[in-house]
Structure 1
Amino acid sequence: MSSNPPAERPGLLTRLRSPRTWSLRARLLVTQIVLLAVVCAGIGVATEFALQRFLMHQLDQQVIEAGRRSAIIYELGPPPPPGFGPHRPPPGTGIGRPDFPRRIIIREDDGPGPAFLNAPGQATRTVGAVIDQGRPVDAGVITADGARAEISAKAAQQLAELAPNRHPVTVELDGLGRYRVIANHSRGPQEAIVTGLPTSDVDDTLLSVLVMFCVVGVVVLGAAATAGILIIRRQLQPLSRVSAAARQVADLELDRGEVRLPTPIVKVDPASAHTEIGQLGSSLNRMLDRIAGALAARHASETRIRQFVADASHELRTPLAAIRGYTELAQRKQEALPDDVAHAMSRVQSETERMTQLVEDMLLLARLDTGRPLEHERVDLTRLVVDAASDAHIAAPEHKWSLDLPEEPVVIRGDEARLHQVLANLLANARTHTPPGTSVTTALTVEDGTAVLTVTDDGPGIPRWLQPEVFQRFARGDSSRSRRGGSTGLGLAIVAAVVRAHGGTIDLHSGPGKTEFVVRLPVNSQPSHSEAKSGA
């Protein structure tokens, strides 16, 4: 009678954790951004690695040149000042005198550290040291302003631990930072000249390039995301039309009445018919054509069956009336009849009454199916509830009947006879399918302009497997007991059809120990002929 309820949507955190719950657009966009980010990261890492090797190679060349220059200057002394010959050392250096010791450190008076730190071409922050037998004899560094300064004893010892080598190595000097240093042999096998340059310029350059790559990468990813959203939205627009068409069909009432499906449901461009989305639209159109044909055939079959039921019910009324007349006539002369004949005539009369009720119910449903107009008058639901409950109490005094009514009368617009039949059928259903001693409560309230009628019993309940079909015609949970109780299987079907014809709804909530039928009827609206015409 109703379409399947929509599946419960997962929560926001669940959707974020599980990519399977994301939309196709989101997954495509995220995949595009992730791939682009991986490519950008790969390019950035490769560029940083190549740039680092290039800059370090340049720095090593500078360190090697500085080391050679420092060793030569240490061995030969600083170059002569202007006015001296090319091989004449400046006065006061002691070079060339017989008493000049070989291991006396050549120093200038402008600061600590080896004298070769003041040689032309030495860069700022160059560190230098003279090592004799593993001990630092003299060590210093050129400051940023070009002066010489001492280095810590720990830094000097770190330089002293370096063995002479042909390639620079990286050392973390105390108080100075990372340096690329090289040690060269000097005058003796136990003497070495250590020279180094800081790696800070290389590190700053690499950091600047990394920041630039990050900024450019963020800008590129943002632009790619924007362009991706526009491109994906445009490319998936036909798929959105297919989805909207499918939702349109899903919202139609396909379970009853005549259904007219739009044809074609999706317009397919012949130029794109070979694409995946074009094939999907064509398949959906073909499927809906088949469904439309099946629904038309079903509606035609239902129409013929309902017409047959209406005609048969109408035609059966005449012979049934004749049978009832003859049985009543025979019952008047019951004393003159043998006992077995009198009993047979009594059974004929009871079964005729039962069959007459069945025919009347079928005829009522057929009239509702064809959209027969209902009465539109003021109906006091409160009085109808009282009357129906009184009739039920007389019919089944072994049950416990109770009422829960508002202080003010509840008046709606509708067909009084049909609404009385709704109440009577609901109470008869409770009476027929519950054991003696069951409590049945009929309640009436008004909520937001809607009259709410509730019939509740504390019987065994309706089986779960039967609940989806309880408002279908000829639905029975226990056919043998139902027949003994006089049930035709049409009572609740009539209730649903009449309620729907009045623009209302009916719901069932049942479990062991409690069964509740809830009828909601609009207070200020007339019966819906279109609902009646759609059938039960």
Structure 2
Amino acid sequence: MTRRPVTLQRTLVIGAIALVATALVLMSVATVTALRAFVYDRLDEQVVGGLVFAGGPGDGRGWPPSEESTGAPTPSASAGVPAEGRGPAPRIGSLLVRVADDGAVASSYTRSDGTVQTLSDEQVSVLSRGVPPDEVPVTVELGAELGTFRVAARSANGSTVFSGISLADAAATTSALTTILIAVGAVTLLAAVVGLSFFVRRALRPLDRVAAVAQRVSERTLGRGPAEIPDRVEAADTDTRTEVGRVGASLNDLLGHVQAALTARAHSESELRRFIADASHELRTPLASVRGYTQLTLTGPEPMTATQRRSLERIESEARRMTTLVEDLLLLARLDAGQRLRVEDVELPLVAIDAVSDAQAVDREREWRLDIASDAPLTVPGDEDRLRQVVANLLRNAHAHTPPGTIVTTSIERDDDEAVLRVTDTGPGIDPAVADTLFERFTRGDRARNRDAGSTGLGLSIAQAIVVAHRGTIAVRSRPGETTFTVRLPAHRSRAATDS
């Protein structure tokens, strides 16, 4: 499964949302923690204050006054709360417990409906064990029936007094706040995602336009065709005071330099092609004259020494080789200039048969084979003379760069709407050092194969130029013991094959 690439827009949105979510979480945790601490502080104050109304008489710290000082009866030691009409009414969820030294217990717990109940012996035991009499509130769990309390205790007048308040309201408050914060945070995050996606997409639109220009330029074939690059970043996206504007302005400058370089290169190549074409054309006549006079001298009646005859034969051979080179250069110059080829129906199997027959007649040291698929004959539109030259160059390449005894097979088959011609030899293969430049001009495979002295290094480049002019492709695959040149040309079945 291919991993989806992380775009700049997605990175910015995810990063911003992560920061917002982190801030919301930290704020929520801090708010709940602060509220819980505040509530607990208030409860602790109330718990400590409750000890005033639960303690014994006459200690001078605000405890209920004695009978002697007020003339009123003192609350019974067994009462858990102040006597009726003495002090404030007990708070809902509060508890008061007095444990005398002789084990007598007086307790009361005010339920949510206002009724008062006493604590069980086990609950009183939990308080006695878990709450030290130092007036410091602690949290105590009194079972599922009562729940959790903040409780403080003190010893006075031969008894220990406990005062506590239930944490149910505090827990409900913090739970409600937590729920509210989660809901608000989720809505805030959703709004942030939508808003950030919109604003980031809007902010990155200029960069998208700059990238679109670069994409269109990258899809152009700058190596061939006109040197014009009409695509440019719009002026609105080239403001150098912004980051995207600097990128757009730099891209426009780069495209301008590239276009200037392409124009200069195209002009130079045009001049070079014109020079090669003119020079090749002009050299044809003197070379023909040199060959003619050489042949005339060799066939003349005047006696010559062996050295003279050898010299004239070499002159004729080199003149013939130079004529071939000039003809190849002239053909390449014309193809580069876009010379139109003849377009006619060419029977590719007949072209291959003639080329293989010619190779067998010239070279008896190699085995030349022909393999034509059952769906042949194939007809391709093109220039028959040029296509014959392609096949001949490929066979000549096999002859020049393979040792005697090599098997060279020329095959033709059909692949959908293409005619596929392959020339395969069992030679030593192509040197990897020249494989990438094999179709360039004047490239020789001297280090890979046995070189023929008559090779000009233009055969494969001419074959490629002719194939490309026919809207086809040529490729090579090589390894020791097998080298295959594959030519693909647009094709249609011949009339005879169609009628059958």
TM-score relative to the length of structure 2: 0.86
Choose 481-490 or 401-410, whichever is displaced more.
Answer: 481-490
Residue equivalent to 1:87: 72
The within-5 A match list for 1:127-526 is: 127-131=95-99, 137=105, 141-145=109-113, 146-148=115-117, 150-151=119-120, 153=122, 156-175=125-144, 176-188=146-158, 191-262=159-230, 265-269=232-236, 272-333=239-300, 336-408=303-375, 409-478=377-446, 484-524=452-492
1:133 and 1:400 map into 2 onto residues whose CA distance is 125
Could you report, residue by residue, the CA deviation over 1:319-348 in whole angstroms, capped at 9, with x for unpaired residues? 111122122223324893221112122212
CA spacing shift, 1:283–1:253, aligned 2, 3 Å: same
8 Å contact kept, 1:129–1:156: no
8 Å contact kept, 1:152–1:174: no
CA spacing shift, 1:368–1:105, aligned 2, 3 Å: same
Choose 378-387 or 324-333, whichever is displaced more.
Answer: 324-333
CA spacing shift, 1:200–1:405, aligned 2, 3 Å: farther
Choose 436-445 or 143-152, whichever is displaced more.
Answer: 143-152
Choose 156-165 or 493-502, whichever is displaced more.
Answer: 156-165
Q: Which SS does the other structure have where 2:433 is aligned?
A: coil
Choose 47-56 or 355-364, whichever is displaced more.
Answer: 47-56
8 Å contact kept, 1:143–1:149: no
1:412 and 1:518 map into 2 onto residues whose CA distance is 16
Residue equivalent to 1:528: none
8 Å contact kept, 1:163–1:183: yes
2:261 and 2:171 map into 1 onto residues whose CA distance is 76
Q: How far 1:498 moved relative to its partner? A: 1.0
1:436 and 1:515 map into 2 onto residues whose CA distance is 15
1:37 and 1:347 map into 2 onto residues whose CA distance is 89
Query: Percent of aligned pairs with the same residue?
Result: 39
Residue equivalent to 1:530: none
Q: Which SS does the other structure have where 2:436 is aligned?
A: helix
Q: Which letter does structure 2 place at the counterpart of 1:359?
A: V
CA spacing shift, 1:169–1:497, aligned 2, 3 Å: same
1:65 matched to 2:49? The reply is yes
1:12 matched to 2:3? The reply is yes
TM-score relative to the length of structure 1: 0.81
Query: How big is the alpha-carbon RMSD for the aligned residues of Structure 1 and Structure 2?
Result: 3.3
Q: How far 1:128 moved relative to its partner? A: 4.5
Q: Which SS does the other structure have where 2:285 is aligned?
A: helix
Aligned length: 482
Q: Which letter does structure 1 place at the counterpart of 2:148?
A: R
Residue equivalent to 1:532: none
Q: Which SS does the other structure have where 2:54 is aligned?
A: helix
CA spacing shift, 1:49–1:350, aligned 2, 3 Å: same
Q: How far 1:86 moved relative to its partner? A: 7.9
- Specify every segment of 5 or more residues in structure 1 that has no aligned partner in the other structure, as ranges: 1-9, 16-21, 80-84, 96-103, 107-113, 526-536
8 Å contact kept, 2:368–2:407: yes
- Specify every segment of 5 or more residues in structure 2 that has no aligned partner in the other structure, as ranges: 494-500
Could you report, residue by residue, the CA deviation over 1:135-164 in whole angstroms, capped at 9, with x for unpaired residues? 895667544443525447377335433211
Q: 1:51 aligns with which of 14, 27, 35?
A: 35
Q: How far 1:56 moved relative to its partner? A: 1.5
8 Å contact kept, 1:141–1:151: no
8 Å contact kept, 1:70–1:117: no
2:220 and 2:183 map into 1 onto residues whose CA distance is 52
Q: How far 1:400 moved relative to its partner? A: 3.5
